[in-house]
Amino acid sequence: MAAPPGAWPGPESPPRLLLIDRRAPGTRALAGPLQGLLDPAEALRLEKLRRQEDRERFLLGRGLLRLMLGSWLGREPAAVAIGNGPYGKPELMTRSSSGPEGEAPPPRFNVSHSGDLILLGFHPSREVGVDVERLRPVPEWEGIARRCLAAAEREAIRALPERDRGDAFLAAWCRLEAQLKARGLGLFGIEPQRAGSTGEVWPLALPLGYVGAAALA
């Protein structure tokens, strides 16, 4: 299998994004061939997933991530060594701030999935974070927002008509998650007013029923 076509972003560019929709014709059929690209730890993780949709999301996300990184690095996708940072963010296990003399630093990347969508983000030199959420009722949004969002953002959501607040909260949540993931952080212990205070963030135009964001640290 070949990586999806398209130019890689330059150092000053926004991240390159790849969106996979499980509902698209032929997409689910990719899961089987992609399974052969997994390393033993990924295969074990896959084996522990009981629901078919969870297995498909994992296979599509991790398999296509390997195809993209293999194309970028000039390696066989199955040979790309992927580990996890302290908060679970995937990263190249051999990553360093710069490669050997004459070699470009390795790319940064991130993955998110919700419902039928899997979102991958890549950048050649800056840490990247992505997040996608399926829209759904969030009756407890105010309690979560008090713990995670800055006061101004909470007030902006509260000023909306009640029917729009849940969707607005999920959009704000995606922006926050993308920024934290770009910085390699988790939600625990992050002050709301500082959680998304650095880097760049972009809201994404996604299929109906979803919101998402991408960020660079």
Output the CA angle 73-65-213, nearest 5 degrees.
115
| Mean pLDDT, residues 27-36 taken together | 92
Looking at domain 132-216, its CATH architecture is: Alpha-Beta Complex (3.90)
Backbone angles phi, psi at 154, to 5 degrees: -60, -45
Spatial strand order of the sheet with 210-216 comes to: 128-134, 210-216, 200-203
101: tokens are: 């003399």
**Angle, helix 162-182 to helix 141-148, in steps of 10 degrees:** 30
Neighbours of 142 (CB within 10 A): 14
Task: Decide if pLDDT at 103 tops 50.
Answer: yes
Q: One-letter amino acid identity for 55?
A: R
* CA 215 to chain centroid: 10
Task: Decide if pLDDT at 15 tops 60.
Answer: yes
Rg from Cα positions in the chain: 18
Domain ranges of the chain: 16-106, 132-216
Class of domain 16-106 as given by CATH: alpha beta
Using DSSP, state whether 170 is helix, strand or coil: helix
For residue 66, CA distances in Å to 39, 42, 148 come to 10, 12, 32
| Mean pLDDT, residues 147-173 taken together | 96
| Mean pLDDT, residues 61-86 taken together | 92
Task: Using a cut of 0.85, tell me whether the model's pTM lies above it.
Answer: yes
Q: Are domains 16-106 and 132-216 of this chain identical in fold? A: yes
Percent of the chain topping pLDDT 90: 75
Query: Taking the chain, what is the end-to-end CA distance rounded to the nearest angstrom?
Result: 32
48: tokens are: 């522990």
